[in-house]
Amino acid sequence: MSSLLTDSEILLKNTVGDFARKEIAPRASIIDRTGEYPFENVRQLAKMDLLGIPVAQQYSGAGAGVTGFAVSIRELAKACANTAFICGVHTMVALSLQLFGTNDQKARFLAPLSRGERIGAFAMTEPQAGSDAAAMRTSAAREGDSYVLNGNKCFITNAGAADIYLVFASTDPSKGSRGISAFIVERNNPGIRIGKIEDKIGLRASSNGEVFLEACKVPQGGLLGKEGDGFKIALTALDYGRIGAAALGVGLAEASLDASVAYAKQRAQFGQAIASFQAIQFAIADMATETEAAWLLCYEAARLANRNEKFTKHAAMAKVYASEIALKASERAVQIHGGYGLSRELSVERHMRDAKALAIIEGTSEIQRLVIAREVLR
């Protein structure tokens, strides 16, 4: 799957892949079992300059573009989906600041995010406003030269680990989605409180939880863009996030495929390796074909983003397809491994649980299909 890549992207792929296998993969099963946030993995990502991959070098990023971001997330996901997911969501926040932030905001927040000195969280989802962002109840009221935020967010990735939260709140409820604004809220702001961290079946170590805003005062300089720009900022960020989610799906599918090929070659039944059985061969052929197709969709979306062309449809296509084939590939991998596939001593059951979570995060498969249909039917 390297034929599309530039020389620099091939180098990045090999570098990140080697790093992930040596430094990240050994901890993957441990953090999955405990659900503990992988602070050490994040520190290692920072050392490797992987927390600002698509961010411009002038803001301490790697300047590798969105294609470089996709390449890196795919390699990280093959080793540990939790770490890839954490990196992807953090990067959504960084890209939002790069695209919509003032020079002061970029210097104060973006550069430290890119260096991995601070971790970002994207705080949009609420108990009554998941896919329906217009139903958002978190409010932001002007009070002098500040805004006072009240509300609660849920299922926020990096909730318990972040230093910077990109919070979406309504500054004018009468305007619906056009009245939503985006705010940069620091962890040490009075009035921000972290609630329950969810105990999920997949992506268990991503510190996915509640964020409460209780008379949380944010200075006017914390407003990202203008009042009412929040929905536009969120949709833009989600487009980039879906490329990351698609790359994560490709990495999970590839990990399932690699495990299945290795097992099928060494597992013998009826006097021969099970790789010689047509049923196994067909399953592996489908996994390989679908994984390759998912990567092509993902890379095309990233390529369009690099060229500043519209990529909403392609990002949604990549996300829905990659997440669904990741689940199919992991289910096939469990089946190929038989009883061993059910054991937590092997990675394939973890891939299956992580892939199921992936089909829901960053917009469910149903939402992706709505986005695609809307774009096609324009």
Structure-token pair, residue 33: 């079992």
What pLDDT is attached to residue 133? 76
What pLDDT is attached to residue 129? 84
Euclidean distance between CA atoms 248 and 46, whole angstroms: 19
Fold of 231-376: Butyryl-CoA Dehydrogenase, subunit A; domain 3 (1.20.140)
Euclidean distance between CA atoms 97 and 105, whole angstroms: 7
* Domain ranges across the chain: 7-119, 121-228, 231-376
Fold of 7-119: Butyryl-Coa Dehydrogenase, subunit A; domain 1 (1.10.540)
Euclidean distance between CA atoms 234 and 92, whole angstroms: 10
Q: Would 7-119 and 121-228 be classified into the same CATH topology?
A: no
Euclidean distance between CA atoms 368 and 314, whole angstroms: 10
Q: Are the C-beta atoms of 79 and 38 separated by less than 8 Å?
A: no
CB within 8 Å of 123: residues ≥ 6 apart: 153, 156, 159, 165, 166, 167, 168, 185, 211
Catalytic: 349?
Answer: no
Q: Are the C-beta atoms of 19 and 80 separated by less than 8 Å?
A: no
CATH of domain 121-228: 2.40.110.10
What pLDDT is attached to residue 2? 61
Q: Are the C-beta atoms of 130 and 154 separated by less than 8 Å?
A: no
Structure-token pair, residue 351: 């891939």
What pLDDT is attached to residue 148? 98
- The closest of 247, 254, 245, 241 to 351, measured between CA atoms, is 254
What pLDDT is attached to residue 280? 97
Name the stretches of the chain with pLDDT < 50. none
Instruction: Give, rounded to a whole angstrom, the gap between the first and last alpha carbons of the chain.
Output: 33
- The closest of 83, 13, 135, 161 to 350, measured between CA atoms, is 83
Identify residue 217 by its one-letter amino acid code.
K
What Å distances lie between residue 44 and 15, 37, 110, 115, 275, CA to CA?
Answer: 13, 13, 19, 11, 37
Candidates 117, 254, 362, 375; catalytic one? 362
What pLDDT is attached to residue 1? 60
Structure pTM?
0.96
What Å distances lie between residue 258 and 3, 32, 192, 219, 375, CA to CA?
Answer: 19, 20, 43, 50, 35
Euclidean distance between CA atoms 158 and 166, whole angstroms: 11
